[in-house]
Structure 1
Amino acid sequence: MKKTMLVLLALSMLMLPGTAVGQGSLSNFADGNHWASRDIKAVSELGLMNGTGTTPDGQHLFSPQSQISRAQLAAVLTNTFGLDYGTIYFVKEPLASDYYPDVDDKAWYAPYVVMCAINQVFPAGDVNFYPDRPATRIEVAQAIDRSFTAKSISVPMILMMPMLHDTGNLAQEEMNAVVFVNNTGIMRGNDGYFRPGDNLTRAEMAAVIMRCVELMAANETHGDQELQVPVGSIFYLDLASNPTNSHTWTVTGGIDGIIKNTGSAYRPDDAGTVPVAGGGGRQFWRFQALREGSADLQLAYARPWESVQPQRFEVKILVTPTISPALSLSTIAVRNEGQYITVDSYLPVLHGLAEEGIQVRINTGWVTDLEEIESLLTADLDDYIRYNQENDFPIRPYLLFSRYQTGTLNQNLLSLYVDYYTFTGGAHGSTDRRPYNFDLQTGQPLKLADIFLPGYDFPGIINQEISARIATEPDNYFPGEMGFQGIRDDQGFYVKDGQLVVYFA
């Protein structure tokens, strides 16, 4: 498979459920003597992963060497990231079967599949969810990458392309996920191999989840600062601790009514199963923001029997509305299921722009584009149905599926793209990625040339960068007329985290 080219250029711009299902108190598993024991104990006590059953004599099992299923993955990610409805509005409560016909709405994992579907955690494409199928490493990488995006969690990292021998056939989005989990340390390969098709064990999943928690957690560097958390969201805190010398952290104030402590766990730095005196480690807490307001979260670190002044940690938690009164994006879900065509679309809705006329025009544009694509899709639907019926061919329902990804939203610029996937009964469908870049002061759409100073040779610089990248791996790209011919006047692009992303599909 040839790669879709993705180029990143740094620019100086001129213009769910709140209750976890993990068995927090059942962390002493009969099969817990494992290389991942400290992570297994931590994810259980934090309420992020369940045990799998009990032995005949009543001891709890974690099954660390069992492969994690896609259903279990959905539950773990929902618990870890606090996946919920966010700013999406539904006419009726969505069911798992609305998204995947092979998911029973009464299954234990159905609510978690719904939350993952709403937050676009699993890539679109398959009609079925396959809940019992083991999750592969690339599926886990993509789901984690998408979970960070869904919750708008920004993670500082050095943008580097990992040197891996077995990722050449990955799609661009899959490769983007590999880059993210590799550069953040969440998941890495061994000996130059990522092994994207390998399955993950439950022990490996526990270790991966704790790395995610470490990335998301506030720590000593956030002392005496203010953290903003949306209502309903999950957030973490982790602090250095050493219970082997009898020191303990105690939450002394600031959680009544505004935030709630939903779990805590100590994880030793040493990978052994038994903490060594003086070894130390980290204490983790999982909190949920319950309602708007301000909470002064206070903790004390001391030996309970000593009268000396304890070490203290304090951070102000400001719980904000789900939709900020400032400039923001929410999502509207458009879902219509007919006998021969299904529309499943998430569209952005811009809020808070001072010039209401510009805001209405931008929001109307996405709806108009969706309607035009649906109209084109259905133009030959009657002929398709009649032809297949006359020839006794199976009729495969048409599908229009769209999701969007936000790049930048500030007072001057809105930059995002929408992927429109259409299926018209053939062997596979097609995806049309449409960029939307607006000057929010004027409401005018922006071309690539509009974000550079007049006279700046941006085409030459970008073309040179792309050509140099292709030259390093020529076998991965189409040659000649089918290959790279230079950027166009209508070149697709968006801006994310201060970087220009130019893409070719």
Structure 2
Amino acid sequence: MFKPKSALTAQSAVLLIVNGFGLNIDNIRFIKEPKASDYYTKVKDDAYYAKAFIIANLNGLEIPRDIDPNGKVTREQFAHWIFKAISKKGDYAWIEMYQTFKDEDKVTQGYMDSVQKLLIGKIASLDNGKFRPKDAITRSEAAVMLAKALSFVKNTQPVPPAQPEQPVSPLTEVKLTSEAYGSEALKVTVSAQAPHPGYGIEIANVAFKDKQAIVTYRIVKPDPAALYPQVITTVKASVYVSNAYTPVLGGEAQ
């Protein structure tokens, strides 16, 4: 029987979050099967909720190692676990502000950021200006917080991962030219501008496809122990191909 005003136990809280967010460990390969006792001192390996505790740990929910599965969960603990579950779903942009409330001095320091984020995101709320961090969270309070958290994840676009910066090539104005070489061949030349004469260029590969000769090049780097005049220098490399193919610049070889 669901008792909305009764305190939520740790086992129920972990099951609620793991199942609600669909957390799993499907993409982790183990040398041996993980057991709850590997991560917790009071969670029995054969308990029906043991797997949920394992999943919670490996998804970074930061459940205390000495958690009592039958013990009560405080509002600040549940808020912290909810925030960690949200973070597992994506990197979300949170408004940079500080939410003040009457009993903020009672929040455990390690939980404050999570509480702040949930208040800012309107996932958690205050009761007459108080968060009541040390109070046991009730089943109904937990259900509301979870529902709002899942709605947030569903309706909020995560920040896309930053793309790694592409290295800037020291060569500029790279171009390909060709000229007849005898009656059946072409001399194909790749040329570029280099910042000094220490750089060079060489043909890396010629791939023949659909009547095209796709030419890729490789940058020859300068000797780090040598000194070079800082003079823009033209560098070149050539290769010979059949005139049955049209030469095409394929870019720098990776």
Q: What is the TM-score of this pair, normalised by structure 2?
A: 0.59
Q: CA deviation at 1:84?
A: 0.8
Whole-Å separation in 1 of the counterparts to 2:70 and 2:76? 17
Counterparts of 1:163 and 1:101 in 2: how far apart (Å)?
36
TM alignment of 1:4-403, pairs within 5 A: 61-85=1-25, 87-123=27-63, 126-152=64-90, 154=92, 156-218=93-155
CA distance in 1, matches of 2:68, 2:13: 12
Q: Distance in 2 between matches of 1:146 and 1:84?
A: 14
CA shift in 2, pair 1:205/1:169, >3 Å = closer
Q: Which runs of 5+ in 2 are unaligned?
A: 169-254
Give the letter aligned to residue 140 of structure 2: A
What secondary structure is seen at the aligned counterpart in 2 of 1:71? helix
1:410 pairs with 153, 163, 171, which one?
163
The letter for the 1-side match of 2:21 is F
User: Is the 8 Å Cα contact of residues 67 and 199 (structure 1) preserved in structure 2?
Assistant: yes
Q: Indicate the RMSD between aligned Cα atoms, in angstroms.
A: 2.7
1:403-450 deviations in whole A, cap 9, x for unaligned? xxxxx75313xxxxxxxxxxxxxxxxxxxxxxxxxxx959xxxxxxxx
Distance 1:97 1:409 in 2: 38
Q: Can you list the C-alpha shifts for 1:136-160, whole angstroms capped at 9, x where unaligned?
A: 0000110011101122253x54332
Q: What letter matches 1:144 in structure 2?
A: I
Cα displacement (A) at 1:208: 1.2
> What CA distance in whole angstroms lies between the structure 1 residues aligned with 2:101 and 2:136?
18
In 1, the alpha carbon distance for the partners of 2:6 and 2:130 equals: 22
Quick one: structure 1 residues 162 and 65, their matched pair in 2 at CA, closer, same or farther if it must change by over 3 Å? same
Q: What is the Cα deviation at residue 101 of structure 1? A: 2.2
1 or 2, which has the higher strand percentage? 1
> Shift of the alpha carbon at 1:127?
3.5
Tell me by how many angstroms 1:87 deviates. Answer: 4.2
User: 1:119 and 1:211 mapped to 2: Cα distance?
Assistant: 20
**127 and 121 in structure 1: CA distance in 2 versus 1, 3 angstrom threshold:** closer
Report how many residues are paired. Answer: 167
Q: Which runs of 5+ in 1 are unaligned?
A: 1-60, 220-226, 229-407, 413-439, 443-505
Q: Judging changes above 3 Å, is the alpha-carbon distance between structure 1 residues 67 and 95 closer, same or farther for their aligned structure 2 residues?
A: same
Structure 2: distance between partners of 1:62 and 1:97 = 29
Counterpart of 2:79, as a letter, is A
The amino acid of 2:89's aligned partner reads: K
Question: CA distance change for structure 1 residues 108 and 410 in 2, over 3 Å: closer, same or farther?
Answer: same
Q: Is the 8 A contact 2:18 2:55 kept in 1?
A: yes
**Shift in CA distance, 99/214, structure 1 to aligned 2, threshold 3 Å:** same
1:242-271 residue CA offsets vs partner (Å, 9 max, x unmatched): xxxxxxxxxxxxxxxxxxxxxxxxxxxxxx
Residue aligning to 2:241 = none
Supply the distance in 2 between the matched residues of 1:207 and 1:127 (Cα, whole angstroms): 26
Answer yes or no: is the 8 Å Cα contact 1:97–1:105 preserved in 2.
Answer: yes
Q: How far apart in 1 are the matches of 2:167 and 2:4?
A: 55
CA positional deviation for 1:176? 0.5
* Aligned match of 1:496: none
> How do 1:349-498 residues align onto structure 2 when only pairs under 5 Å count?
409-412=162-165
Cα contact 1:411–1:441 (8 A) shared by 2: no
SS at match of 1:89: coil
Write the deviation string for residues 358-402 of structure 1: whole angstroms up to 9, x where unpaired. Answer: xxxxxxxxxxxxxxxxxxxxxxxxxxxxxxxxxxxxxxxxxxxxx
**Which has more radius of gyration?**
2
User: What is the CA distance between 1:186 and its match in structure 2?
Assistant: 1.1
8 Å contact from structure 1 (residues 153, 216) kept in 2: no
* CA displacement at 1:99 relative to structure 2: 0.5
* Pairwise CA distance, 1:192: 2.3
Cα distance in 1 for partners of 2:162, 2:55 equals 25
Query: Which residue pairs with 2:209 in the alignment?
Result: none
**Residue 86 and residue 410 in structure 1: after superposition, are their counterparts in 2 closer, same or farther (change >3 A)?**
farther
Relative to structure 1, the CA distance from residue 69 to residue 165 in structure 2 (aligned partners, 3 Å threshold; closer, same or farther) is same
